[in-house]
Structure 1
Amino acid sequence: MIIALILVLVAGVFLGAQPFSMEFVDLIEVSGDYTLFLLLFLIGAELASSGNLRERFKSLDISMLFLPLFSILGSLFAGAMTGLLTQVGLWQGAAIGGGMGWYSLSGVIISQKLSAELGALAFLTNIFREIYTFIFIPLLYKFKLGPAALTIGGATTMDTTLPIINRYLGKDLSLIAIWHGIVCSLLVPVLVSLMLMPL
């Protein structure tokens, strides 16, 4: 499955690099959105049909509600340390880490407040975070690191990476993934802006 995911990703990159017309590019973007909506609908239907959702929520470990907090702290710390090591800067790195995988929003905020170069770096860094989630979730599943594996996805766990989370980590962790993604997504603009305040 991992090899198949990587091959599909490479094929998509190769296809996307071709000189298509803007109409075709727009069609691909719209098709991608509708495909994601369909996947999320099917996951929701599967969760609802596989048992009592209320009982599922009650059976979840209450400590899982704090998972987004650890995900956010880890992202900010990793971003800050990487920023120091690469001479991007402590706060700049923390702001990029605070993007939590939401590449379009974090890239725009950082471009507006700092520079187009750092905005592009934030965009690429958070795109790769999403890609790494697709690759590493199946690997971490083998090591029984389910809840910890969700932190890789950041804000993406409620939408784009939810299908692979549901596939490998199961329905209960899919519920946690949705909560995790919603909290992270709501806090991305706040986190990125806060990290940029000292600059």
Structure 2
Amino acid sequence: MFSGMLFIFAPLVVGYLFTISNSVYIQRINRATSNLIYVILSLMGLSLAALDNLGQNLQTIVQYTLVFFLCLGACNLAVLPFVDRWLPLKTDHSNSKLPLSSMALESLKLIVVVGGGLVIGLLLPFDLNWVDTASEWILFLLLFFIGIQLRNSGLTLGQILLNKHGMVIALVIVSTSMVGGLIAAYILNISTFHGLAMASGFGWYSLAGILMGDAFGPVYGGASFLIELLRELVSLVMIPMLIRSKPCCAIGYAGATAMDFTLPVIQTTGGVRCVPIAIVSGFILSLLVPVLMLFFVSLAN
């Protein structure tokens, strides 16, 4: 039952074994990872083009996206404010302007890449049977690079375990997301394990969409991508509004993106005290995305 999970998870583990001190090599790996994400998302678009009854499947993608997004968000935000009560955090206010438009543009690029693959697949009459195999092999390489990135992120195990705020936030996001996934699965009348796997993206839209697409097909992959992308876009608006009064809630809702994409927003609006918490919670959630998602995928198959 776990053979498929181990086969996909192995590149991540192997990558995590590599310690790289040369910053030039790290930059090249980061660049390669970004490029691979664009490639595999374009292949996801091609996979959507190859679907039978595309109009009906797009309607399903939108339905899954809305139900999961609302269920996950409601469950996360129902509990996160209590973390601010239990573990109050004083923030440093800043009035610096944030390049929110630039960040939103980066997210829009990824949507355009998927849409571009879809349009190309619809307009050009060529065989698309090779897409799934190509996506699989590129996924293995992508997971290998992600493992290297996680190992060389600069956080030690001790730093993770000693940061109470980051640990609690990550625990709340994981547990409430699982509840939200179960509720969404019940509403949509799909498998429990499908629902739990879909709930395990934690904001990492590129990897979540890729893993779900590889496991369950482009409908689930497209929906998972949009669910986590919406989380990031909402986070960009929510963080400046909430971080002064409810910093743990703002950081937590950002999910895995708190350690990278939304970190500048968190740092600028919440101050330097929020940075270690955001990095640790984001790191833990990033590490758990492939672990939990592949685990539930293996149970569903």
TM-score, normalised by the number of residues in structure 2? 0.46
CA distance in 2, matches of 1:62, 1:157: 16
Please point out which of 276, 281, 295 is paired with 1:175: 276
Greater C-alpha radius of gyration: 2
Determine the structure 2 residue equivalent to 1:114: 216
Secondary structure of the 1:160 match is coil
**Is the contact between residue 81 and residue 90 of structure 1 (CA under 8 Å) also seen in structure 2?**
no
How far apart are residue 65 of structure 1 and its match?
Answer: 3.0
User: Aligned pair 1:97/2:226, yes or no?
Assistant: no
Work out the percentage of aligned pairs sharing the same amino acid. Answer: 28
Unpaired stretches in structure 2, ≥5 consecutive residues: 1-95, 117-158
How far apart are residue 139 of structure 1 and its match?
Answer: 2.0
Secondary structure of the 1:182 match is helix
Determine the structure 1 residue equivalent to 2:228: 126
CA distance in 1, matches of 2:104, 2:256: 20
Per-residue Cα deviation, 1:154-193 (whole angstroms, up to 9, x for no partner): 1111000001111222211111000111111111101111
Determine the structure 1 residue equivalent to 2:253: 152
Q: Which amino acid counterpart does residue 162 of structure 1 have in structure 2?
A: L
With over 3 angstroms needed to count, the CA separation of the structure-2 counterparts of 1:8 and 1:123, relative to structure 1, is closer
How far apart are residue 90 of structure 1 and its match?
Answer: 2.9
Structure with bigger RCO (C-alpha 8 Å, 6+ apart): 2
Q: Which moved more, 1:76-85 or 1:178-187?
A: 76-85
Determine the structure 2 residue equivalent to 1:42: none
Determine the structure 1 residue equivalent to 2:296: 195
Per-residue Cα deviation, 1:18-76 (whole angstroms, up to 9, x for no partner): xxx9xxxxxxxxxxxxxxxxxxxxxxxxxxxxxxxxxxx8xx97354332111211222
Secondary structure of the 2:201 match is coil
Determine the structure 2 residue equivalent to 1:162: 263
CA distance in 1, matches of 2:182, 2:237: 24
With over 3 angstroms needed to count, the CA separation of the structure-2 counterparts of 1:198 and 1:163, relative to structure 1, is same
Q: Superposition pairs for residues 1-199 of structure 1, below 5 Å? A: 5=100, 9=104, 13=108, 62-142=164-244, 144-199=245-300
How far apart are residue 80 of structure 1 and its match?
Answer: 2.4
Q: Which amino acid counterpart does residue 227 of structure 2 have in structure 1?
A: T
Q: Which amino acid counterpart does residue 134 of structure 1 have in structure 2?
A: L
CA distance in 1, matches of 2:197, 2:101: 28
How far apart are residue 91 of structure 1 and its match?
Answer: 2.3
CA distance in 1, matches of 2:297, 2:276: 32
How far apart are residue 12 of structure 1 and its match?
Answer: 7.9
Aligned residue pairs total 157
**Is the contact between residue 80 and residue 92 of structure 1 (CA under 8 Å) also seen in structure 2?**
no
